[in-house]
Homo-oligomer: A and B are copies of this chain.
Amino acid sequence: MGLKLYGFVPSNATFRALVSLYEKDLDVEFVKVHMAAREHKTPQFLSRNPFGQVPVLEDGDITVFESRAITQYVARAYADKGNELMINNDPKKMAIQSVWMQVESQKFDIPSHKLAIELYYNVLHRGREVDEALVAEYKPKLESVLDVYEQRLKESKYLGGDSFTLVDLHHLPNVYYLMATEVKKLFDARPHVSAWAADILSRPAWVKIVSMLRSEGYV
């Protein structure tokens, strides 16, 4: 059967899922969903994901949507392949990993995604005018999260623990996009956050995503 990922470039959720497959050295067929043609709202696509959104992973008779559910499925189902992406043996370490996984989803995701869409996609890529009100709303929110990250990364090499895990991986697409914008200054001003960002962005699995972006004319 093989693995099939339905996605869209440069959707950050698509890349969040895809980079987890690359970290696991898995062969995956990437199926581009034609958003402009509203292919994601067809009955066939809605049978894969009733919300009509990408990404969706098909693995034999298992269908998974929501990017963070896909990464967790991949990390568990292919635990013995490629790089380990989850701590699964120590209850205390697992609790810490859960905490920071929730922090990404509940605290980092919204401000970083809003700023990435606006400053990377709308402004840099599509050449639109900056929505200054949006930037003024979300930059301070992102800064307060990065302040907590700076403290956290003084104690721990990665956000979820001593090794790279899904916690860090979930940040990748938004961190990558933001580093091409004025928001990079917020990272530069925090040495531990900045070193962490450089580290996770240099991983071979992410570099493979950047090649894909380049071939699609995004970089």
Q: Which residues of A contact B (CB under 8 A)?
A: 50-51, 61-62, 64-69, 72-73, 76-77, 91-92, 94-95, 98-99, 101-103, 105-107, 148, 151-152
B69 close to A95 (CB less than 8 A): yes
Are A92 and B50 also in contact (CB < 8 A) when A69-B99, A69-B101, A102-B69 are?
Answer: no
B50 close to A99 (CB less than 8 A): no
Tell me, rounded to whole Å, the shortest Cβ–Cβ distance linking A45 to chain B: 14
A106: B residues at CB distance < 8 A = 66, 68, 105
Nearest B residue to A102 via CB reads: B66
Tell me, rounded to whole Å, the shortest Cβ–Cβ distance linking A99 to chain B: 4
Tell me, rounded to whole Å, the shortest Cβ–Cβ distance linking A32 to chain B: 22
Q: Which of A95, A103, A105 has the most CB of B within 10 A?
A: A95
Tell me, rounded to whole Å, the shortest Cβ–Cβ distance linking A100 to chain B: 8
Name the 5 nearest CB pairs between A and B, nearest first: A66-B102, A69-B98, A69-B99, A69-B102, A50-B148
